[in-house]
């Protein structure tokens, strides 16, 4: 148990990684960990979109389309081309990007917030296994993640949502983090 707690305590958000590809067997281990997250009523509302190599262009094109929709009309052709190129590069910040979506079930007894919580747990499992395998990872969201273009890019329906883009690769930076002591965040009710 101490090894598992140490794994949790040493995992950090790593935003800078090398271009070294992640082997498919490691990707499958990461996905398998995500698939074993808890979900209310065992709905398993997650879906994974694995992007490697040129497959990351799909994400890059979505980033670029969103950027141009938001700023493009006020720019010159040269500025539009620069913005497009800069936005495309966002998808290539890691050799592996996994888009994780929530496909909430609509039965009356299913609470949508619990579906999204389950997908967040799935992503945490993935981050821990990526760390255990020696990779750095970052869970990214931001305004583009919630844009309708992103839903369209991944074929998501109105009720669905992108919960995160998980960028994974060999760490190319060190990262330390401190936590506020647990006694400052805990209220015992006895």
What percentage of residues in the chain have a pLDDT greater than 90? 91
Q: Which of 7-16, 37-46, 156-165 has the lowest mean pLDDT?
A: 7-16
What percentage of residues in the chain have a pLDDT greater than 70? 99
Other C-beta atoms lying within 10 Å of the C-beta of residue 123: 21
The binding site consists of 11-13, 40, 139-141
Domains of the chain: 10-52+92-174 (3.40.109.10)
The binding site for FMN consists of 11-13, 40, 139-141
The b-or-e profile of 81-100 (16+ CB within 10 A means b, else e) is eebbeebbebbbbbbbbbbb
Q: Which residues contact 117 (CB under 8 A, 6 or more apart)?
A: none
pTM for this predicted structure? 0.94
Q: What is the mean pLDDT of residues 113-141?
A: 97
Residue 36 has pLDDT above 80, yes or no: yes
pLDDT of residue 14: 94
């Amino acid at each position: 148990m101490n090894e598992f707690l140490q794994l949790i305590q040493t995992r950090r958000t790593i935003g800078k990684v090398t271009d070294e590809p992640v082997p498919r067997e490691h990707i499958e281990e990461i996905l398998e960990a995500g698939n074993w997250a808890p979900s209310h009523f065992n709905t398993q509302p997650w879906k994974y979109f694995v992007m490697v190599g040129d497959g990351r262009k799909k994400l890059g094109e979505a980033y670029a389309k969103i950027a141009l929709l938001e700023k493009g009309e006020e720019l010159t052709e040269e500025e539009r081309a620069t913005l497009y190129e800069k936005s495309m590069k966002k998808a290539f910040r890691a050799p592996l990007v996994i888009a994780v979506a929530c496909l909430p079930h609509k039965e009356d007894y299913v609470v949508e917030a619990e579906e999204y919580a389950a997908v967040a747990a799935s992503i945490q499992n993935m981050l821990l296994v990526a760390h255990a395998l020696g990779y750095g990872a970052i869970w990214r969201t931001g305004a583009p993640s919630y844009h309708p273009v992103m839903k369209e890019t991944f074929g998501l329906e109105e009720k669905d949502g992108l919960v995160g883009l998980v960028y994974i690769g060999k760490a190319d930076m060190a990262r330390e983090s401190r936590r506020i002591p647990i006694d400052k965040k805990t209220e015992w009710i006895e």
